[in-house]
Every structure is written in structure tokens, then in C-alpha cells.
Chain A
């Protein structure tokens, strides 16, 4: 094992897959000469050249549609959105073109493509740069949706995403880019669709994904001090959701809290609680609960912003109400 920040893990996944398959290329704003707005693509242009690391104009709808067409033409595009907020400009091409073509063509045309970039809130970038699109994309058949937390998962899942024959939404997090985690030194990939139990426990299940996992783990430490043993599940893949792992855990702990940084309404938590209610209802000793971003566009001011996103204290408090 060696230690890398998430940023490097993502870059390495891209580079390794590009070395393996000449038809894989990276396209997006500032990915080449600027080496990525968040420096994720650092060094790639010097290895692969501007033929395969393609700087685009600021034209999200255009280059997303272009990438969909390129995948029809036999390539495997990795589309970087500078942040996922800007993908709203391109949402039609993602949903109507990338996600639906395989079905509408009766299986004649598949679209192997990865859409990736930082998702959700960062620090004080306000509502238009803090949107968490996780729940939105999980609503769409024809897409796979990944939201890794640590470096090993980011690398292993991105490699699977690039090899996948379908459109894959890969949600990164700006605040995780600098976080350092262990990464296996062997060649590996992580299968899409499997959650990971980050901490074993027996009294309550906490599910989360992306940066939410960090807060969930911290909350579990607080619970430990109250002699409550929390099991923390990193969902990793949001669609298809690994409900088996969640249900199995709930059957053991009899309590569940879902944590997400997106909004509550029709969110990931709603989906998880619905699954738990129908598949493990008799095992529940307390109502299934969820915590999410407050139901407002994310404010700019630091104190207000902090109030909006679930943290270890708010998760801890919610968990305590279930005992």
C-alpha cells in the first residue's frame, strides 16, 4: 500500500486506462494545457498530447453531445465537467442522448462514456456552484452513478467506469481531492454496484457516500463514546444501489440513518428508507431516519453554509434519537 490523495488516484486511473486503450480520451474545459481546473489531469497532456487530452471551448452542451457522438463513432470518451453544476447546460445530452440511445435503438448502439467532475458543495462557492446532482441522476434508467469517498475506491471505480459499455456518472468531491488515503499498489479495479462496509458495528447502520462518509465515520466515533456501535456503509455506487448490503446490515443492527449532502426531498435517503421499509420492516426497532442538506439553495456565508450540510454532530444527534 502507498498513500495518495484522491486527486492523484483519479489521474492515475485515467492514465492507466489511456495507456491500455488508445480509444480512451479525456475531453473538457481546461483539461489540457491548464492541467485541470482542480489539477486532476496534471501531467496528462505531456504524456498523451492534445490529440487525446482535448481542451474544449466553454460549451458544455456542445462538447457533451460531441462526446456522445464520438462514442458512437467507436471511441471511449471521459468527459470532465469543471464542476457538475455546469453539466446542467448539458443535461439533455446526458439524459436524452447518452442514457436512452441503447434502449431506443433496441440494443443496436451502446454509449460507453464517463462523465466526471467535482460534485456538491465546496467552500463558500454559493448555490450555483454547490449543487449535488447525485439523486437527480439516480432517477434515470440507462445510467450508472458512482460517488466514491477514498482514493482506492476513486481509482478502482473510475477504471471500471472507463471499461464499462454504458454511460457512467462519476461524482467526485472538491474537498476530497486533497485527502490522502491508502491505495493498493497492484493493478485492480472495483466492481460497480457494490457498497463497502467502512466500519463494522452492531447497534445502528449509517449509510453515506462521497464526503458524507467522512462525517458518518466521525459520528460513529462519537457514538462509540456512548457505547453505541455503529456500522458505517460507504455506498460507493448509487445506481445500481447495493441494497443487499444495506438490508443485511439493518437486519443485524435494527436501526438505520441515511446521510447525504444533497437535498432530502426524493433523495438517496428516501430511496434507501423505502427499500428498508419494504424489505426489513420487521427488523426495525426504530423509525428509519435520514439527514440531508437543508431545504434551501446553499448560502454563501460560511456560518450559514455550515448549518446546511450534515456534519458529525448533527448525524450523532439524529442517531441518538433512535435509542
Chain B
């Protein structure tokens, strides 16, 4: 092949031999001698360095000569969807604090506090033996559900794993029905047949409540598929944890979601531990927001302990998806204060670590301070809101405790649907 470029101009484009040697060394994690790079000006660039150099050329926006490509490669190998989509996403305006109204801050406080007090009460009821089985509390992660919910519509679908109480309440499900479900009562949202991990509220577009780690991800992808098939504008918000992020079907979903440009926000609630295994011991690549790269799904990491950050990130993600760009990944860096479930020896992390998070990064304390600093609420008002929430949840818990157990008549119902008219 005839060469229509000279190597020295490429090296010059990349800042000269010295800088290129440094950049290539960093880029490839090897030590490359400056003199070697200078020698390429005369001797030509070896094929094995070309891919890295092409990536650097793309990065600086320099021209890539056609026949510079190493054998068997073309420009498409480098300019994948990811770089295109990431570039495109970066051009989207970021939302900022001016997009958060006073009213929104008040709601963040009230809603997060409600979730916390609800889960605290659930923990107590579990301790009293009124709730059985597995029970996973959301305490510490409230900013994620509240911030995300504020950015989506009622028409949008939400699906998650088994740590689902908060997402249901955020969607508008009845907290009384949740408490009843947890206690196996007839008024339970699943008539007492699902329990903590399996609750659904299709009227509020909440699709579970799934007990198998990661299984909700392809299901949520299918809800988005249906939305697109039926020409609707609704998106699918799929929550899963850092533990689930290692399941194969998550990547199968990424692939199909991107292939078919499905309207999905993959929201990874990275609370740092998949049960008792820290993400560092479980994921070869801990940068979960980038796991969609090779599928062309852009993503970014968000401070999941701050409802404002979550909300602003969600606004951008929602706009991205609604504009028809296909899926996006949001990795929420968050933390759960309680154990994975109610039976957690907590030997995998120190008390000090948990205490530090509680003291320094608590999402409710953060909003509380903000409300006071902005003189939206004073301490008295904050306390009266807390009191009101506590007494409401107490009342509901009492009512649920006193309600009747689920009926044996439900034992054989709902195995198969006989409703053929649908």
C-alpha cells in the first residue's frame, strides 16, 4: 500500500516524541523510551503501537490517515458507539442547582425521612417477630429512590430487586398495604403471598420486587421493549445493585437494550457490598458506570448519598433516553447502614466505616442542613415533620398489626389466571 503520510507529522500532532512516549506509556501501562518514539520518525511506527496511537489521535481530534490503520482494522474499530454516544451525551446541558426548587428540597426531605422511618419501623417489627423470612432494609440509600423518582413520570415503569420497599413507596404504593404484606396479612399488597421481596404495584407502574439477583434487569428491558413496540413514550427505570452487576443477564440486557435502542435507565445502586462481599473483591472493573462501554451505552457515576446530585443526574438521563438515544447507565455511589438482610453478622466491614458514613454523608442530614441554611425550614419545623411522619407510620403499623392474617382461601388462588378476555 502506498503511504500518503509521514510518521513524523503524526508524532508532531501528538505533541512530539517526548509527550507521546509519556502518553503511550500511561495509556498502555508499559514503559516506552522517548528515543524509541523519536526513531519512529524515520523507521516508521510499528503496527503494534498503532491502535494506541489512533486512540490518542481521536482523543486530540487529529486527522487519521487512511492507510495508517494496522492490517485488518478500520476506523470503525476505534470510533465505536461508545465514543459517539459519550461525545453526544457530553454535549447535553447539565442541569444545575437552579433546576431544584425550594419545594423540591422540601419534598426530598419529607420523602427520604418517610422511607427512613418506615424502614426503621419495619426493622422493629422484624425484631418483634411480626415479620418473617428475608427482609432487606433501604436505610442509607434513600437519596437514590427519592431523587430518581422526582425526575420520572407516573407513566414510566420502575423495577428493582428484593430491597424494594422504598421504591414502592416512592412510586405511590400504599405503605399500609406494604406493612400488611410484610406481616402476612390479607390486606397485603400481594395478599400475603409475596412478602418483603415480592411486591408489585402495576397501577403505579411498579413491576417488582424480584427475589433473584439480577433477574429484574432483562424483565425491565422487556418492559421498555413493550413501550417501544407499542409506540409509547414511557421509559423503564431498572434498579439493581453492585452485586447484581456481575450477573451475565445484566450484560445480555445491555446488549439488547443498546442494539434495539430501548428507552432504559439502568440505575446501579452501588452500596459497596453485594451481601458481604465488597465490590473490590467481586468486580474486576469497579467502575460500574463504564460497564456499558463496549455496548455503546454511556454512563456516569453519581453521588448517591446526595438527592440533589441524584435528581440532576436523573434529569439528564431522562432527557437522553426520551430523546431517543437509547439506554444509559447511572451508577449511584451509595451506602446501606444496616446489614444486607436482617441476619447479617456484619463481619465484612467495621463499625467505624458505617459510623463515618452516617456522620459525614447521610442524605437526610445533608438536606436538613440545606433547608436550614437556606432558611426554608427551621429546626422546629423539621422536628414537627419528623413527628408527623413517625406518628403516621406508627398508626399504620398498629393498624396493620391488628389486621387479620391472610385467608386460607387465597392459598389456591392466583396460581393460574383464568381471565381469557384480556
Interface positions of A (Cβ within 8 A of B): 23, 25, 51, 56-57, 59, 61-75, 92-93, 96-97, 101-110, 112, 141-142, 144, 163-166
Contacts and interface: CB of A to CB of B under 8 A. Distances in A.
Contacts of B227: 73
Contacts of A105: 190, 194, 198-200, 202, 208-209, 414
A56 B256 contact: yes
B229 A75 contact: yes
B417 interface: yes
B221 interface: yes
Contact of B226 (A59, A69, A144): A69
A61 B190 contact: no
Contacts of A57: 252, 255-256, 259
Nearest to A58: B252
Given A65-B217, A69-B221, 20 more contacts: A25-B229, A56-B256, A62-B249, A62-B253, A65-B215, A67-B222, A69-B223, A70-B226, A71-B226, A72-B202, A97-B210, A97-B212, A105-B414, A106-B192, A109-B200, A109-B208, A164-B420, A165-B417, A166-B416, A166-B417
A141 B413 CA distance: 12
Contacts of B194: 104-106
A147 to B, nearest CB: 18
A109 B256 contact: no
A66 B218 contact: yes
B201 interface: yes
A103 B209 CA distance: 13
B114 interface: no
Contact of A102 (B210, B226, B415): B415
B329 to A, nearest CB: 16
B162 to A, nearest CB: 12
Given A97-B219, A106-B410, A109-B200, A73 B157 contact: yes
A258 to B, nearest CB: 25
Interface centre among B222, B248, B255 (most CB of A within 10 A): B222
Contact of A141 (B192, B220, B224, B415): B415
B215 A96 contact: yes
Interface in B199-251: 199-202, 207-212, 215, 217-227, 229-230, 236, 248-249
Nearest to A52: B229
28 contacts: A23-B230, A57-B256, A57-B259, A59-B252, A65-B222, A66-B219, A68-B219, A69-B218, A69-B226, A71-B226, A72-B223, A73-B222, A104-B194, A104-B200, A104-B208, A105-B194, A105-B208, A105-B209, A105-B414, A106-B188, A106-B194, A107-B191, A107-B414, A108-B200, A108-B201, A109-B207, A142-B416, A165-B422
Contacts of A103: 193, 414-415
B343 interface: no
Interface in B383-422: 410, 413-420, 422
Nearest to B200: A105
Contact of B221 (A66, A101, A109, A144): A66
A280 B386 CA distance: 67
B256 A102 contact: no
A164 B418 CA distance: 8
B218 A64 contact: yes
Contacts of A112: 417, 422
Q: Give the interface size class of chain B.
A: 35 or more
B417 A59 contact: no
Contacts of B253: 62, 65-66
Contacts of B199: 105
A104 B259 contact: no
Contact of B222 (A59, A69, A108, A110): A69
A93 B248 CA distance: 13
Contacts of B221: 62, 65-66, 69
Contacts of B415: 102-103, 141-142
A20 to B, nearest CB: 14
Interface string B150-173: 000000010100000000000000
B189 interface: yes
- Which 5 pairs from chain A and chain B are nearest by CB? A69-B222, A73-B226, A65-B218, A62-B252, A106-B191
B291 to A, nearest CB: 15
Nearest to B212: A96
A239 to B, nearest CB: 10
A61 B218 contact: yes
A51 B230 CA distance: 10
Contacts of B249: 61-62, 65, 93
Contact of A75 (B193, B201, B226): B226
Interface centre among B192, B218, B256, B415 (most CB of A within 10 A): B218
Contacts of B191: 106-107
A128 to B, nearest CB: 19
B229 A70 contact: yes
A164 B422 CA distance: 10
Contacts of A164: 420
B413 A72 contact: no
Nearest to A95: B212
A96 B194 CA distance: 13
A68 B193 contact: no
Interface centre among B157, B236, B253 (most CB of A within 10 A): B253
B190 A108 contact: yes
Contact of B202 (A109, A141, A166): A109
A72 B252 contact: no
Contacts of B192: 106
Contacts of B200: 101, 104-105, 108-109
A72 B417 contact: no
B222 A66 contact: yes
B416 A69 contact: no
Contact of A59 (B256, B416, B422): B256
Nearest to B188: A106
A106 B210 contact: no
Contacts of B201: 108
Nearest to B207: A72
A207 B316 CA distance: 62
B212 A92 contact: yes
Contacts of A102: 414-417
A106 B419 CA distance: 14
Nearest to B406: A106
Contacts of B207: 69, 72, 109
Interface centre among A25, A56, A62, A144 (most CB of B within 10 A): A62
